[in-house]
Chain A
Amino acid sequence: MSTPTLENSWTFSVNNRIVIPYTNSPAVTNKARQLMFAIKYGLKNAGIDVIGSSDTYTAGIDNVDRWTTWSNVLERYSGGWCYSWMIMGNATMGHFLFTFVSGYTQWDVYYSPQGIFTWNGQLYTRPSATDELRLTIANQYFSTNNVADVVWHLMVDSTKTRFRFIAQETGVNVLCFVIDKFNNDDMIWPRAYCGFSPSWYNVDILGSYNYLFSSTSWSTKTRSPTNVALSGQLSTNVENTTLLGTPQQFYLIGENSCTNEVTGECDFLKIGYTVPGVGRCGYIQDLWASSTYVPNGTTFPINDTKRRFVQFGVLIFPWNGSVPQIA
């Protein structure tokens, strides 16, 4: 199977590294803060607008970026626990807010498809939106204090209306923050966007089909045309409805590698977005599922320096030709 043709053009910022130099480095305890800052930094550089922000001292939904350095991403007690927050987005994709919720180990992401966050002026209260969708689960870990560098990658489509932010630590995918559009030829859905943001520590959140393709954890959220909050999941080809109990998997050729045994290439399986009880809502462009046996960071075409695609976990993303760093 030849590699697919991209439906969008993408801009990339990849192989960015948060260096953790030694065990007792201050960078270790501030690693999560640096990573959250990196999300803002990368998205802003890629043309996603800052809608509002808080550095716990001042705040506003006023298009001001108060995160000049990662030190502005903090928690602080002042009448209540204040957490820095950041709202980004644009009129097409809507707005999303991300913030820590407990120390620097857990975070929250809220997505307002209509971009209607409001704030009550209290520094210890995050903005909220009547249409907000929480893209995180309760007590969701964000990064770690491991003595290990974090590498992050960002891809934003040329219309700046969808993005994928992936972070790795010691070769493990610890964060995948995505706001994306799902498409159908006949989609009667004015704001067909969905978001998901699995993250954990020491667990590869993209390494199996258990999370994004499951109905039980890390649901992918959207709102219906009539503004009903929906929790969906990714879907892809299965070869057996009941007997195998796992999504279609491929086969080993050699040790811990996987290719189509006829073509010598890897299969790219289209990814749909499905809401149980509602039905299939569409497919996600330029994102594919592949084998759990493909090593993290494999690029495609295989043995081709063009490296037009990369596999992180079971997902295949567009890529910019560089050698991916995952640790």
Chain B
Amino acid sequence: MTLPLLEKTWTISGNQVLTGSGNVVTDRKALFLTLKNKFVTSAWTVSGSCNATSSSGNGVDHIQTIANIVNTTDGTAHSWIVLQQSQISPKFQVCFDFSSPTQSSMTIVVSPVSGFSGSSLTRRPTAVDEYLILSNSTWFDFANYTSSSDIIYNTWFSSDGMSNRVITLWNNNSRGMWMFERPPDAPAAWREKSVFVALSGLGEPKSGSFLFNVPKLLGNVNELNSVFFMTAEGTRQGPVNTMLSTYTLTSSITGKYPLLPLTLFCGTANRRGVLGRVADMWYGPSLSTLMTGTTFPESGSAEFVQFGHIVQSWDAGRNVRIG
């Protein structure tokens, strides 16, 4: 059974378990702290931060413990942090802002080019090109995380810094995905050259979130906030199109899995067109039984894993933790 070849070198942290503390608020904060640390040790830098007591935009990381994560109404002292990945673009920055009184909610804002400035203890910094990708909303489906349990997180960081992904699971289901990317084959005419998403929900990442009317993959395209379809190959079956992933697990002749490479298609008026690809990511079979941690190939070493509809490389064995 043949599988795709990888085009990037990846550092994968799979099957990482955050043991439930017995307190759902603590668990959520512990996950954020863990992921923040994971990013920082994966070539991301802290541009600025605030722990509701101290605030600075000079690269100091004020979020060192769970206690430093204060989630409360915007306008009062709360926590935020800006992380930067210079390989996507010199000042590609992501601001995680805990400005909600709802403890399961967060705001995530991306500045593709300009970078953030102008923060305080009570307000997150802003950027002229900022794109609000999660607005005071539940992250990783935590609105439904009502009793403490183990939280599984998986991270993928490419060695060139241009692909950065997180998928979390709890209670035996995937719950969301973060993705910050500089797409390969992005045309020179696209100045920002980055896409990002913060998916949250049961079973995410689902292909519908990337394909249907209002796709959730976002990016700034020449100063215009835009949406992207993550397209894959399909064909017409009767009156409608069908993704080839709806076919059987493998081609009965070639033995190939229906792992479909992903092409980025900007769907925003005045910015429409194919604007590159997504590296080393595929839509996998859409069979529901395969959507939670199925590994490929079917036997031997697990080289790829499927969460939701997304297949990526994998090196954490066949026993995939899902909760």
Residues of A near any B CB (own CB < 8 A): 1-2, 184-189, 209-210, 213-216, 224-225, 233-248, 250-251, 259-264, 267, 269-270, 272, 274-282
| Contact, CB under 8 Å: A237 / B263 | yes
B residues within 8 A CB of A185? 2
B residues within 8 A CB of A280? 233, 244, 247, 251, 254, 256, 258
| Contact, CB under 8 Å: A262 / B232 | no
Can you name the residue of chain B whose Cβ is closest to the Cβ of A216?
B238
**Choice from B187, B253, B271, B272 contacting A1 with Cβ under 8 Å:** B187
| Contact, CB under 8 Å: B211 / A241 | yes
| Contact, CB under 8 Å: B254 / A250 | no
Question: Smallest distance from the beta carbon of B155 to chain A beta carbons, Å?
Answer: 28
Beyond A186-B256, A240-B229, is A234–B273 a contact (Cβ under 8 Å)?
no
| Contact, CB under 8 Å: B252 / A278 | yes
| Contact, CB under 8 Å: B255 / A243 | no
| Contact, CB under 8 Å: A188 / B267 | no
| Contact, CB under 8 Å: A262 / B271 | yes
Looking at B233, B241, B247, B274, which has the most chain A CB atoms within 10 Å of its CB?
B241
Q: Is B235 an interface residue (CB 8 A)?
A: yes
Q: Is B294 an interface residue (CB 8 A)?
A: no
Q: With A1-B273, A239-B267 given, name 9 new contacts (CB 8 A).
A: A188-B255, A233-B236, A267-B274, A274-B233, A278-B253, A279-B252, A279-B253, A280-B258, A281-B254
Can you name the residue of chain B whose Cβ is closest to the Cβ of A236?
B233
B residues within 8 A CB of A235? 233-235, 244
Q: Is B222 an interface residue (CB 8 A)?
A: yes
Beyond A233-B235, A237-B234, A261-B272, is A279–B243 a contact (Cβ under 8 Å)?
no
A residues within 8 A CB of B207? 241
**Choice from B189, B248, B255, B265 contacting A248 with Cβ under 8 Å:** B265
Could you tell me the distance between the alpha carbons of A281 and B247 in the complex, rounded to whole angstroms?
12
| Contact, CB under 8 Å: B233 / A237 | yes
| Contact, CB under 8 Å: A215 / B235 | yes
Q: In B225-245, which residues have CB < 8 Å from any A CB?
A: 229, 231-244
| Contact, CB under 8 Å: B265 / A215 | no
Q: Is B275 an interface residue (CB 8 A)?
A: yes
B residues within 8 A CB of A263? 187, 189-190, 273
Beyond A261-B272, A267-B274, is A186–B2 a contact (Cβ under 8 Å)?
yes
| Contact, CB under 8 Å: B232 / A237 | yes
Can you name the residue of chain A whose Cβ is closest to the Cβ of B286?
A241
| Contact, CB under 8 Å: B187 / A246 | no
Could you tell me the distance between the alpha carbons of A94 and B252 in the complex, rounded to whole angstroms?
24
In this complex, the interface size class of chain B, counting residues with CB under 8 Å from chain A, is 35 or more
Q: Is B169 an interface residue (CB 8 A)?
A: no
| Contact, CB under 8 Å: A240 / B263 | no
Question: Smallest distance from the beta carbon of A111 to chain B beta carbons, Å?
Answer: 18
6 inter-chain pairs at a CB distance below 8 angstroms, sorted by A residue, are A1-B185, A262-B187, A263-B189, A263-B190, A269-B274, A276-B247
Q: Which 6 A-B pairs have the closest CB atoms?
A: A279-B251, A260-B273, A238-B234, A235-B235, A239-B229, A267-B274
Could you tell me the distance between the alpha carbons of A275 and B235 in the complex, rounded to whole angstroms?
10
A residues within 8 A CB of B248? 277, 279
B residues within 8 A CB of A240? 211-213, 229, 241
A residues within 8 A CB of B171? none
**Choice from A187, A262, A272 contacting B266 with Cβ under 8 Å:** A262
**Choice from A187, A260, A276 contacting B274 with Cβ under 8 Å:** A260
| Contact, CB under 8 Å: A241 / B251 | no
Q: In B184-219, which residues have CB < 8 Å from any A CB?
A: 185, 187, 189-190, 207-208, 211-213
| Contact, CB under 8 Å: B272 / A247 | no
Could you tell me the distance between the alpha carbons of A184 and B212 in the complex, rounded to whole angstroms?
29
Beyond A234-B235, A262-B266, is A279–B273 a contact (Cβ under 8 Å)?
no
A residues within 8 A CB of B213? 240, 243
| Contact, CB under 8 Å: B211 / A239 | yes
Q: In B266-286, which residues have CB < 8 Å from any A CB?
A: 266-267, 269-275
| Contact, CB under 8 Å: B272 / A251 | yes
Question: Smallest distance from the beta carbon of A127 to chain B beta carbons, Å?
Answer: 28
Question: Smallest distance from the beta carbon of A70 to chain B beta carbons, Å?
Answer: 37
Beyond A260-B274, A262-B271, A263-B189, is A238–B233 a contact (Cβ under 8 Å)?
yes
B residues within 8 A CB of A247? 234, 236, 241
Can you name the residue of chain A whose Cβ is closest to the Cβ of B250?
A279
Could you tell me the distance between the alpha carbons of A139 and B187 in the complex, rounded to whole angstroms?
46
Q: Is B177 an interface residue (CB 8 A)?
A: no
| Contact, CB under 8 Å: B247 / A262 | no
**Choice from B241, B252, B273 contacting A245 with Cβ under 8 Å:** B241
Q: Is B310 an interface residue (CB 8 A)?
A: no
